Structure 1
Amino acid sequence: MLPLPAWGPVAYITLLAVIAPAALMGLWRRRGARRLAAGTHVLITGGSKGLGLALARQCAQRGCSVTVVARSQPDLDAALQQLREAAVAGGAERAGQRLQALSADTADPAKLKKMLAEAESTAGPVNVLICNAGFSAPGLFVEQGPEVHERQMRVNYLGTVHTVQAALPGMLERRQGRIVLVASTMAVLGFAGYSSYAPSKWAVRGLADCLHNELQGTGVHISVAYPPDTDTPGYATEMETKPALCKAVNAALGSELFSAEKVAKALLGGIEAGNYHLPSPDFGQNLLVSSMTGLSPKRFWLPLEMLLGPFMPLITSLFGWIADRAARRHNEAHGMPPRAYPVD
C-alpha cells in the first residue's frame, strides 16, 4: 500500500471537504432517477407541435403511455397520428401503452383539472409532467405595450403554475412523480428583444428552485429545462417579429439552431438521470446555467464546478461584453429613436 503523503491536518480536512460533498452531490443528482419505459405515463402540455411533440414521440418510442395537451383539436389529431407511428417504429413490447391527445388551455385551471382526470382515467396516474406550453413574442421594450408582457407572463408562467397545481396533489398523495418545468436559455440571460419574454422564463426558473426545496422528502422531484434556439414552428413565428437589434446580438453570441429531436433527446436523458438542471446540446449554454444555479443542485459534477469556478466570471463577462458591443454598434449604425408605447 502506498503511504499517505505527509500532509498536515488542515490539508486532509480540506481534501475531505472537497471529496465528501462531491460524493454526496453524485447521490443527490440521482434521486428520483427513473427510466422512461413501458408503464410510465408522461403528460406534456404544448405537446402538439415543436419540442413538445418531439418529446412525446421519443417517449412513445420508449413504450411510455403519452398524453399530449394543447388547445387546437386539428393539431392534436395530427400529433396523435405521429405518436402512433412513433410507437410502432419503437418496436418494443408495449402492452397497456396508451396514447392520447386532449384539448385544454393552461390558462383555465378548471379545464386543466378535468383534462388531467380524463388522462389518468385512461392511462393511469401521471408519472412525469412536462410543462412545455409557452410562446415568445420578441420586440423592443419601447415598442411593446404592457399587454404583450402580461400575455407572456400569463401563458408562460401562470400557465405553468396552473398545470403544476392540477397535478401535484395526486403526486404527493402517491409520493411519486417528476415535474419538468420548461424554461429557456433566456432564463439565465437576457438581451435586446426579449424584455417581455425573458422575465416570464426567469419566473419559471424561480418557481422550479422553490418547488425543488419545498418538495424535499415527498417523493416528487423537480427538473428545469433550458431549451436553446430550436427549429420549431414557434421559432419560425418568433423570427417574423424579431427586431434587427435582437438578431444582431444573437448572431454576435454565435447562437446555433438545434433540431427539436436533438434537444428532446438531451432533455429526456437528463430526466432519466434524475437531473435537476436538464442538459442542453449547447455546451456554452450549459456553462451559463452552471454559473446561475444559486442554492439549487449544480449543473455539473461538483469537482468540475470547482475547477470551472475561477473561470466563470471571465466567461460570463466575455459573453456580456460581446452582447453589449453588438447592441451598441447596431444602435450607432441604425439609431434607436424614442417612440411612444402603443395605445389601445
Structure 2
Amino acid sequence: MNFDTTFVLNMLTAVLLIVVAVVLYVNYGFKRKANIKGKHVLISGGSKGIGLEVAAQCFQQGAKVTILARDENGLKEAKKYICSKSEEKRDSEVIYFPVNVSKDYELLETIIQKAEDELGPIYGLFNIVGKAVCYRFLETPLNDFDDMIKVNYQSTVNCTRAVLKKMVTRNEGFIEITSSMAGLFGIYGFSAYSASKFALLGFAQTLAMEMKPHNISITITYPPDTDTPGFALENTTKPEETKLICESGGLLPPSKVARSIINDTLKGKFSSTVTFEGFILRTLTSGLSPPNGIFAVLLEANLMGPLRLVGLLILTHFNKIVRDCFKKRVHTKSE
C-alpha cells in the first residue's frame, strides 16, 4: 500500500497535536478553585489601598485574616473597615501586627508563628506591600533604587519565605505576588520602580517550579494604575511624559483590582491582569512562564505574532509622547 507524502505529513501532524494536547492537559488542565472559607490568609500591606480591599473581600468570603503593615494606627482602622464588611460578628478572626517586612525578618517569623497560633495554619499569602517612585533616571536619587528593591522585592521574599517554611509541610496553599504593568515593560520615569517589579517575575517563575511538587500555587499579578494613597503620592513627582503614558490605561478602584487578584489567585492562575491593555502585555511577554490553562496556551500561540505588531504601535505612540514633551521643554527653556 502506498501513501503520498501529504497524507503521511498530515497523520504525523495529527499525532503530534494529540500528544501536545495530552501533555498540556496533564500538566495544565482543569484546576479546582480554592475555597478560603474558614482558612487563614495573610496580607502584607493590608492597611490601605489594594491590600485593604483584598483583606476585606477575603473576610467576606469567610476567611480568617491577618494583616501586616508598618503603621499600627492604620492597622487598627483597617481592622474596623474589614470587620464592617461581614454581617456576622467575627472580629476575633481579624488580627494585625505592625512590622517592616522588608527589614525585620526575625520579627516577621515570630509574628507568623503568633498568627498561626491564633488563627491556625496560613493557607494563603497575598504579597501586596509595595510603593513607587517616579523620576527621570538621571534625577532619581540613588538611594531610591535600593529602597525600591527593599520594599517591592525583598518584602515579598521575606514574607514568602516565612510562610512557605510551614506551608510546604502541609502540601497545600497559595502565594500571590503583586507586580505591576510596569513590571512587564519599562516605562518612562520608572527606572527604579520597573526594575524592582521585573525582579518579581523571575522570583515567581522559580517558585512555581519549586512548589509544584508541594501542591502550592504561585500567582503573579499585574495591576494597572489604581486609585490608592500610594498612587496619589507617586503622582507628585511624576514627569509629564509618564502621566500621559499612564493615562492611556485609565485609573481603577482598588476594590475592582482586589477582586481580580483574589479570583485569579484562587483559580491557581500563574499570571493575572485586570485590563485589556494588561492582557496584551501579559500575552506578549508570556515566554516560558507557566500557562494559565490549555485555552490560554492556544490563545497565546495564536496571538503573540499579531500582538507584536500591536505592541510596536503602542510603543511608537509612547515614543511620540516622549518626543513631544521633550520639544515642549526645549521650547519653554529657549523663551
> What's the TM-score, normalizing by structure 2?
0.90
Aligned length in residues: 325
Aligned-partner SS, 1:257: coil
Aligned-partner SS, 1:76: helix
Offset at residue 95 of structure 1 (A) = 8.1
Structure 1 126/32 Cα, relative in aligned 2: closer, same or farther at 3 Å? farther
Offset at residue 42 of structure 1 (A) = 0.9
Correspondences of 1:135-154 after superposition (within 5 Å): 135-154=131-150
Q: 2:249 touches 2:277 (CA, 8 Å); kept in 1?
A: no
Q: 1:46 touches 1:131 (CA, 8 Å); kept in 2?
A: yes
Aligned-partner SS, 2:307: helix
Tell me the alpha carbon deviations over residues 104-126 of structure 1, each in whole angstroms, 9 at most, x when there is no partner: 11121111111111111111111
Q: Tell me if 1:268 matches 2:282.
A: no
**2:290 matched residue in structure 1:** 297
**1:50 matched residue in structure 2:** 49
Backbone CA RMSD of aligned residues: 2.3
**2:121 matched residue in structure 1:** 125
Flag as ranges the 4+ runs of structure 1 deviating above 6 A: 94-97
**1:283 matched residue in structure 2:** 276
**2:98 matched residue in structure 1:** 103
Q: 1:30 touches 1:273 (CA, 8 Å); kept in 2?
A: no
Q: 1:22 touches 1:303 (CA, 8 Å); kept in 2?
A: no
Q: Tell me if 1:188 matches 2:188.
A: no
Q: 2:134 touches 2:238 (CA, 8 Å); kept in 1?
A: yes
- The whole-number CA distance in structure 2 between the counterparts of 1:323 and 1:105 is 36
Identical aligned residues as a percent: 29
- The whole-number CA distance in structure 2 between the counterparts of 1:335 and 1:18 is 57
Offset at residue 220 of structure 1 (A) = 1.9
Offset at residue 25 of structure 1 (A) = 3.7
- The whole-number CA distance in structure 2 between the counterparts of 1:292 and 1:320 is 14
- The whole-number CA distance in structure 2 between the counterparts of 1:65 and 1:268 is 15
Question: Unpaired runs of 5+ in structure 1?
Answer: 1-6, 338-344
Offset at residue 157 of structure 1 (A) = 0.6
- The whole-number CA distance in structure 1 between the counterparts of 2:62 and 2:188 is 42
Letter in 2 for 1:294: G
Moved more, 260-269 or 28-37: 28-37
Higher helix share: 2
Aligned-partner SS, 1:197: helix
Aligned-partner SS, 1:246: helix
Q: 1:45 touches 1:52 (CA, 8 Å); kept in 2?
A: yes
Q: Tell me if 1:173 matches 2:163.
A: no
Offset at residue 32 of structure 1 (A) = 6.5
Tell me the alpha carbon deviations over residues 261-316 of structure 1, each in whole angstroms, 9 at most, x when there is no partner: 111111111112111112x2211211211111221223562221222132021021
Q: 1:291 touches 1:312 (CA, 8 Å); kept in 2?
A: yes
Letter in 1 for 2:278: Q
Tell me the alpha carbon deviations over residues 19-66 of structure 1, each in whole angstroms, 9 at most, x when there is no partner: 554565456446764433322211000000000011111101000111
- The whole-number CA distance in structure 2 between the counterparts of 1:216 and 1:197 is 29
Structure 1 240/178 Cα, relative in aligned 2: closer, same or farther at 3 Å? same
Tell me the alpha carbon deviations over residues 160-219 of structure 1, each in whole angstroms, 9 at most, x when there is no partner: 111111111101111112111111111101111101100000011110011111222122
Q: 2:55 touches 2:82 (CA, 8 Å); kept in 1?
A: yes
**2:3 matched residue in structure 1:** none
> What's the TM-score, normalizing by structure 1?
0.88
Moved more, 162-171 or 97-106: 97-106
- The whole-number CA distance in structure 1 between the counterparts of 2:251 and 2:117 is 39
**2:252 matched residue in structure 1:** 258
Q: 2:219 touches 2:270 (CA, 8 Å); kept in 1?
A: yes
Correspondences of 1:179-328 after superposition (within 5 Å): 179-251=175-247, 254-278=248-272, 280-299=273-292, 301-328=296-323
